[in-house]
Amino acid sequence: MSQSKSRNGSGSGVTHSGVIPIHDSMEIREGDSLPEINKRIEMLGEKIDILGSQISELKVAFEELSRLKEFLPLNIRVVEVRETTVEEAKREILEYCDKHKGEIFYPDDVADELGLDLKITVEATEELMKEGKVEEVK
């Protein structure tokens, strides 16, 4: 696709490769001659052809992506979240830390792993940091 450019440098719309914006100079105005109107109609017809071609290309690309997505692995996990208090979550997070000494972990990973609510996990982790029991990695 080629980059299109405005003839007079002004107009409306956003240009992108192969997309030709419709400029104010293409509007049909009262008093325009028949040759001017025919030229504008011809130009609009060309733009419609270009857009039709681009739509066809996009359809082909979309179909290809649709075919490819069935080969892509899906990393979807269903996590059952159980209700717990912040104190219980703190205890479980500390146990998790003991089992994973030296590893870096994030509250969302811990919440998923332990089946904890993310909000509770973040709150518990913040309290543990204030108490000096876990450290924030920067």
Across the chain, where does the E strand assignment appear? none
Residue with tokens 């681009």: 54
pLDDT, tens digit, for every residue of 14-32? Answer: 344 555 555 556 677 788 8
User: Contact at 8 Å (CB) between 108 and 125?
Assistant: no
Q: Is residue 107 within 8 Å of residue 122, measured between CB atoms?
A: yes
The pLDDT of residue 5 is: 39
Average pLDDT over residues 41-66: 90
Q: What is the pLDDT of residue 13?
A: 41
Output phi, psi for 105, to 5 deg. Answer: -135, 160
CA–CA separation, 62 and 85 (whole Å): 47
Cα separation, 64 vs 60, in Å, equals 6
Higher pLDDT, 12 or 116: 116
The predicted model scores a pTM of 0.46
CA 24 to CA 12: how far, in whole Å? Answer: 7
- 60 has pLDDT over 80: yes
